[in-house]
Chain A
Amino acid sequence: MRVDFTKLRFLVVDDNPFMRKVVKALLHGFGTREVLEAEDGATGLEVFMTYSPDIILLDWEMPILDGLEVTRLIRQPTTSVNPFAPIIMVSGHAEKRRVIMARDAGVNEFLVKPISSKGLYDRILGVVAFPRPFIRTKSYFGPDRRRGASNNYSGTDRRKGGGEFETIRTRPLIEKTRSKT
């Protein structure tokens, strides 16, 4: 199994032009043709709303809107063009506390800088081939933060209800892209 990168459109949001160049070089190396760029969170959001990229690679520390704020806005079910869009946060923050903050904002994957081709490829493969279910609660909308069932958990069940899926059909991104051009 491999990812055909010619079929995917990426958005790279990072305030550092050198880092954008590095990420673009890796993506083009994988075979990507379409890479959109933005140098701050607000521009990134605007590009996202206009061009509906398939996957977003998002820095954390940025001017105007930071990566967490952008993630929360993309995950707004009532206003976002695609609240399910896969978000990979690419950040220098490696502390557990920060990773949990990003997870709670709704990112799919977290990649700590320095980035490697393998690290980036594996995160992309993860969001494309093995998308996690989304969870909607009063205070959260985003990928399921539980990556697997734990047999050792002995606390109270914080999430009430059964384990059945509720399916929401979404318009394939490719159709949306075509209708805009």
Chain B
Amino acid sequence: MSRHGDWGPRPRSDDHEDHSKIEPVRDLAERAITGGTAADYERMLAQAEMNLASLKQEFPAWMASELADLETALSNYKAGVPDGAKLFFRKAHDMRGQAATFGYPLAGRAADCLCKLMDALEKVPDDVIETHMNAIRIIIKMNINVVDHPVGTQMLDELEKLGYKLIRSALKSV
């Protein structure tokens, strides 16, 4: 294997003072780009959306499982388990990324707010964590799976106000 691995020869020269600019080999384009119409593109996206829709009946069970994992991570964090904070953040981050895909956009918003707080504050107060967790629990257990649910939206607006207020005060104190 060469100094540069098995992906090619050494650069021919270093033309520039502090960097090399390397033209990519377009082997993927040569292999996988074909002609197609807008209809082909739409058909492809529609098939992908259909595949996703076929999973929809599993989403409530997946979210229940995600919530159970988040609860376990929270218990470990509260118990002072090593890396507990990191693992709790990771599970909250999973929830914020996945909840909307799994049909629970407001749970994603609540988890997003929690993640932002954990990112910005050295330690998020326990009662603030609990408020966010309660919101997530309610949304999942009551199967609130629309983005404009009136009570859910109001709850999230209040939660985000609280979050931004805490983040603003933390930034001011730096």
Q: Hey, which bits of chain A sit against chain B, CB under 8 A?
A: 1-5, 7-8, 15-16, 18-19, 21-22, 25-31, 54-55, 60-61, 63, 77-84, 86, 91-95, 113-115, 117-118, 120-121, 127-129, 131-138, 144, 159-174, 176
- When the two chains form their complex, are residues B51 and A25 in contact, meaning their CB atoms are under 8 A apart? yes
Contact partners of A164 in chain B: CB under 8 A: 15, 21
Contact partners of A22 in chain B: CB under 8 A: 52, 55, 101-102
A-B contacts, 16 listed (Cβ < 8 Å): A2-B40, A15-B94, A18-B102, A19-B94, A19-B98, A31-B47, A79-B5, A81-B7, A82-B7, A114-B101, A128-B32, A132-B24, A135-B22, A159-B19, A165-B21, A166-B11
Q: Hey, which bits of chain B sit against chain A, CB under 8 A?
A: 3-9, 11-29, 31-36, 40-41, 44-45, 47-52, 54-55, 58, 62, 65-66, 89-90, 93-94, 96-102, 105, 108, 112, 115-116, 119
Helix, strand, loop or mixed for chain A's interface? loop
Please report the number of residue pairs spanning A and B whose Cβ atoms sit closer than 8 angstroms. 215
- When the two chains form their complex, are residues B18 and A160 in contact, meaning their CB atoms are under 8 A apart? yes
Tell me the bound Cα distance from A168 to B22 in angstroms: 6
Tell me the bound Cα distance from A117 to B58 in angstroms: 19
- When the two chains form their complex, are residues B24 and A131 in contact, meaning their CB atoms are under 8 A apart? yes
**Chain A, residue nearest B119 (CB):** A95
- When the two chains form their complex, are residues B33 and A136 in contact, meaning their CB atoms are under 8 A apart? no
- When the two chains form their complex, are residues B45 and A117 in contact, meaning their CB atoms are under 8 A apart? yes
Given A26-B52, A92-B112, output 10 extra A-B contacts at Cβ < 8 Å: A2-B33, A2-B34, A113-B98, A117-B45, A120-B48, A121-B45, A127-B28, A137-B20, A160-B17, A170-B7
Contact partners of B25 in chain A: CB under 8 A: 84, 168-170, 172
**Chain A, residue nearest B111 (CB):** A92
Closest CB in chain A relative to B103 CB, distance in Å = 10
- When the two chains form their complex, are residues B32 and A8 in contact, meaning their CB atoms are under 8 A apart? yes
Tell me the bound Cα distance from A139 to B119 in angstroms: 27
Contact partners of B20 in chain A: CB under 8 A: 135-137, 166
- When the two chains form their complex, are residues B27 and A172 in contact, meaning their CB atoms are under 8 A apart? yes
Choose one: B5, B26, B51; the contact of A83 (CB below 8 Å).
Answer: B5
Contact partners of A170 in chain B: CB under 8 A: 7-8, 25, 27
Closest 3 CB pairs of A and B: A161-B16, A92-B97, A29-B48
Contact partners of A63 in chain B: CB under 8 A: 90
**Chain B, residue nearest A136 (CB):** B20
**Chain A, residue nearest B16 (CB):** A161
- When the two chains form their complex, are residues B27 and A173 in contact, meaning their CB atoms are under 8 A apart? yes
Tell me the bound Cα distance from A115 to B15 in angstroms: 41
Tell me the bound Cα distance from A77 to B9 in angstroms: 11
